[in-house]
Chains A and B, each alone.
Chain A
Amino acid sequence: DVKVTQSSRYLVKRTGEKVFLECVQDMDHENMFWYRQDPGLGLRLIYFSYDVKMKEKGDIPEGYSVSREKKERFSLILESASTNQTSMYLCASSSSGVGDEKLFFGSGTQLSVL
């Protein structure tokens, strides 16, 4: 069964901490995405990557960075966590093939910044 795995389901961090959210996919997908989900705001794209070491800013990249050193792994980094980054974070992956536009999602990481 295809899988996108996010390393933590729940995470509690303090303001100012550096936070790493990890995502691994086992489908050999070229594309990987990080979204944050907030009530009433839907999913907003933070960053995406269409190849190893490639990254593109999404709609709300401020305060975040990403790393993709291997094809299967896409990390989201909060350099200095702030309370307004408390949210559900969703990782997704997809293939680049025509007809393969479907996203596969992980179960999400609920991050609380205190």
Chain B
Amino acid sequence: AQSVTQLGSHVSVSEGALVLLRCNYSSSVPPYLFWYVQYPNQGLQLLLKYTTGATLVKGINGFEAEFKKSETSFHLTKPSAHMSDAAEYFCAVTIHASGGSYIPTFGRGTSLIVHP
């Protein structure tokens, strides 16, 4: 079984401040980890993913995340928040399932609020 815990349903930062969104996972097999972003009235889109290899992964819009196996974490960071970063962020863990498909399990989401 797999699960994802996102700490904090809401995170509020000032424009220009560091963004840190926390994600911890549990998985019985080596996981694939993802961060997705959802802007208002839109579906989700991929920010970044970790499958194998380098544990620090870079995504779109200046976001990055580090896979820490010992801490079972995959926290999302951005050095300087922009107003356009205000959105809902979802962490997901994926395992290999039937027919060659990958079935993601999503966290409950963290709403990022950016103040001017």
Chain A residues engaging chain B, CB cutoff 8 angstroms: 4, 30-31, 35, 40-45, 48, 50-51, 54, 56, 58, 90, 92, 94, 96, 99, 101-103, 105-108
Which residue numbers of B lie inside 8 Å of A, CB to CB?
Answer: 6, 9, 32, 34, 36, 41-46, 49, 51, 90, 94, 97-109
Most buried by B among A54, A90, A101, A102: A101
Contact A30 B44, beta carbon cutoff 8 Å: no
CA distance A44 to B13 in the complex (A): 28
Chain A nearest CB from B47 CB (Å) reads: 11
Name the one of A96, A103, A106, A107 contacting B104, with C-beta atoms under 8 angstroms.
Answer: A103
If A42-B107, A101-B32 touch, whether A56 touches B43 (CB-CB below 8 Å) is: no
Provide the bound-state CA to CA distance between A71 and B108, in Å: 30
List residues of chain B with CB within 8 A of the CB of A99.
51
Q: Give every chain B residue within 8 A of A106 (Cβ-Cβ).
A: 43
B43 touches A101 (CB 8 A): no
Q: Which residues does chain A contribute within 8 Å of B43, judged by CB atoms?
A: 4, 90, 92, 105-108
Given A51-B99, A107-B42, 9 further pairs, Cβ under 8 A: A30-B101, A31-B101, A42-B6, A43-B109, A96-B99, A101-B32, A101-B104, A103-B44, A105-B36
